[in-house]
A = this chain, B = another copy of it.
Amino acid sequence: MKRSKNRKEEIYAVSAKLFRKRGYVASTMRDIAELVGIEPSSLYSHIKSKEEILIKICMTCAQEFDDGMVRVIQSNKGIHQKIEDLIDLHLDIALNKPSSVTVFNDEWKHLPEKELNEFMVIRSEYASNFKEILMIGIKKGEIVSMSESTAFQLIINSVKWLHFYVKKLSEAELREKRKEIKQFIIRGLFL
């Protein structure tokens, strides 16, 4: 049972890396099996289907973003600090699970219909919450006057690339880049 659970986790981890590198569709169960070190059919003792792996990766990531958003909303901090916390949330998740985040960002469109619909609902609710915070900042005059939809896209895309450098850079270099990203967003957004 414990052995089996470890195997399952191993399959998810190996798959996330493979999906990141080759994409979900081009990654085969045979590839995954080889990386895990078992026969392809043996994968099905631990998981139900290839789709289940993608679902698990995407939904786990979505949950982490959602949990972080709840924490930010429930905090009694000001708009500026809330935005900084959200930037840190994205950066933390991306640097802790670079492969999962890439799959979450780029492969979610291959989710089966039911889970795809759920995923898109979660995403759009997350975006609404984020934009709500931005809108307050804009109305208050703390943030540059612009569409909150644009501000949202600018923030999330400014943090959407650092995870590709996890393997290439040292801890110190990553910390430095984090700082530069945050300063760039704050400078561009706040008055």
Contact = CB atoms under 8 A, between A and B. Distances in A.
A157 interface: yes
> Interface SS of chain A: helix, strand, loop or mixed?
helix
The size bracket of the interface on A is 20 to 34
Contacts of A154: 158, 180-181, 184
Given A106-B106, A144-B184, A147-B176, 11 more contacts: A23-B23, A23-B109, A25-B25, A146-B184, A147-B177, A151-B180, A154-B184, A158-B158, A187-B187, A187-B188, A188-B188
Interface of A: 22-23, 25-26, 106, 109-110, 144, 146-147, 150-151, 153-154, 157-158, 160-162, 176-177, 180-181, 183-185, 187-189
